[in-house]
Amino acid sequence: MHKGVVIRQLAIQVASEDSSYMPARILILGGDDPTNINTELNTVNVAPSASRVVLLENMTRFWSIIQIRIKRCQQGGIDTRVHGFEVLGPKPTFWPVFKEQLCRRTYLFYSTKAHTWCQEVVEDKTQLLQLFNKLNSALRHEQMFADRFLPDAEAAEALGRTCWEALITPIVHSITLSESSACSPLSWLLSEYLDNAESARRCKSRAAIFNSRVRRLTHLLVHVDTSQMDGEELKPPVKSKGLNRSKELKNGKEGKNKDTFTAPSSSSPSPVKP
Q: DSSP letter string over 185-249?
A: HHHHHHHHHHHHHHHHHHS-SHHHHHHHHHHHHHHHHTT---SPPPSSTT---S-TTGGGHHHHH
Domains of the chain, by residue range, sit at: 9-88, 95-249
| 263/203 Cα distance (integer angstroms) | 23
Reference 162, options 142, 148, 177, 176; nearest CA is: 142
Phi, psi of 260 (to 5 degrees): -125, 155
So what's the pLDDT on residue 183? 78
Class of domain 9-88: mainly beta
**Ranges of residues in the chain whose predicted pLDDT is under 50:** 225-242, 244-274
So what's the pLDDT on residue 214? 74
Taken in order 123, 129, 130, 134, the sign of the CA dihedral is positive
So what's the pLDDT on residue 149? 83
**CA dist 214 → 101, 167, 247 (Å):** 36, 19, 19
- 30, 37 in Cβ contact below 8 A? yes
User: Which DSSP letter does residue 168 get?
Assistant: I
Reference 126, options 197, 214, 199, 212; nearest CA is: 214
Q: Which pTM does this prediction carry?
A: 0.47
With residues binned 3-state (H G I as helix, E B as strand, rest as coil), the percentages for the chain, rounded to 5, are 45, 15, 40
Mean of per-residue pLDDT scores for the chain: 77
Residue type, 242: G
Distance of CA 145 to the CA centre of its chain: 16
Helical segments of 51-168, H only = 95-123, 131-149, 153-163
Reference 13, options 41, 53, 64, 57; nearest CA is: 53
**CA dist 111 → 32, 104, 129, 144, 224 (Å):** 37, 10, 20, 20, 16
Reference 27, options 5, 17, 12; nearest CA is: 12
Residue 262 contacts by C-beta under 8 Å, 6 or more apart in sequence? none
**CA dist 80 → 11, 20, 76, 86, 250 (Å):** 16, 8, 11, 18, 60
